[in-house]
């Protein structure tokens, strides 16, 4: 296993924040699209983070998992644990993207995206609680 480091997590977090701030500077974008982009970026950031955790096996980034427990678990168990998280967040991000595109084409309010995105992120997060190493 790798040495304990949160550098990738911090870099990813700053990249996410930079992208969030960058949305505000896109010329000619209305507030409905801004809200949709923020929700989609957040969902995809969570999926990307869980993919990175799966790829690097740095599962101690997840709350409740210590570095020592992760190291003792072995590569197979770390990968399986992280894959379950990635699957949940990845499927949610994909579904939110499809739903958001459909709602935009239908002219529905971005507030629906916001509510669905916020509730969906909470549900996806709660779905990962029972996943144990």
Residue 108 lies inside a defined structural domain of this protein? yes
Residue 133 lies inside a defined structural domain of this protein? no
Count of beta carbons in the 10 Å neighbourhood of residue 127? 15
- 55-108 pLDDT per residue, tens: 988 887 777 788 888 888 888 999 999 999 999 999 999 999 999 999 999 999
| Cβ contact 91:13 at 8 Å | no
End-to-end CA separation in angstroms for the chain: 15
The rounded distance, in Å, linking the Cα atoms of 131 and 39 is 25
Residue 18 lies inside a defined structural domain of this protein? yes
pLDDT at 47: 96
Residue 1 lies inside a defined structural domain of this protein? no
Average pLDDT over residues 99-120: 94
Domain that holds residue 101: 7-128
pLDDT at 25: 87
Residue 58 lies inside a defined structural domain of this protein? yes
Residue 22 lies inside a defined structural domain of this protein? yes
If you count them, how many residues does the chain have?
Answer: 133
pTM of the model: 0.88
Residue 2 lies inside a defined structural domain of this protein? no
Query: In the chain, how many domains are there?
Result: 1
Looking at the chain, which runs of residues are DSSP E strands?
none
- 45-66 pLDDT per residue, tens: 999 999 998 998 888 777 778 8
Residue 62 is classified by DSSP as S
| Cβ contact 42:52 at 8 Å | no
């Amino acid at each position: 296993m790798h040495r304990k480091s949160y550098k990738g997590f911090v870099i990813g977090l700053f990249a996410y924040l930079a992208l969030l701030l960058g949305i505000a500077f896109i010329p000619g974008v209305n507030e409905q699209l801004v809200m949709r982009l923020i929700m989609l970026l957040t969902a995809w950031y969570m999926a990307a983070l869980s993919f990175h955790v799966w790829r690097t096996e740095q599962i101690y980034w997840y709350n409740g998992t210590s570095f020592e427990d992760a190291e003792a678990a072995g590569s197979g168990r770390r990968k399986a644990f992280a894959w379950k998280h990635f699957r949940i967040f990845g499927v949610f991000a994909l579904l939110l993207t499809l739903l958001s595109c459909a709602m935009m084409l239908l002219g529905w309010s971005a507030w629906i995206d916001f509510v669905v995105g916020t509730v969906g992120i909470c549900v996806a997060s709660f779905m990962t609680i029972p996943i144990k190493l």
